Amino acid sequence: MTKRILAVAALVLMVPALYLSLVKVPSEATMGTIQRIFYFHLPQGIYSYLAALMLGLGSVMYLVTRDLKWDRFNYCVAELGVLVASLSLITGMIWGRPVWNTWWSGDARSNLQLMLDLLFIGYLMLRGYLPEREKRARLATVFGFLAALDVPFNYMVTRWVNTLHPQPVLGPGGGGLDPLMYPALYASLLAFACLYGFLLLQRLEVARVEDEVEYVEQLVEAA
Question: Over the chain, what is the mean pLDDT?
Answer: 88
Q: How far apart are CA 92 and CA 74, in angstroms?
A: 26
Mean pLDDT in residue range 131-145:
88
Find out whether 51 and 203 touch, Cβ atoms under 8 Å: no
Global confidence as pTM: 0.90
**Number of Cα atoms under 13 Å in the Cβ half of residue 144:** 28
pLDDT at residue 157 greater than cutoff 80: yes
Per-residue pLDDT at 169? 65
The closest alpha carbon to 84, from 39, 41, 46, 44, belongs to: 44
Q: How confident is the model at residue 81 (pLDDT cuts 50, 70, 90)?
A: very high
Mean pLDDT in residue range 38-66:
95
Mean pLDDT in residue range 100-129:
89
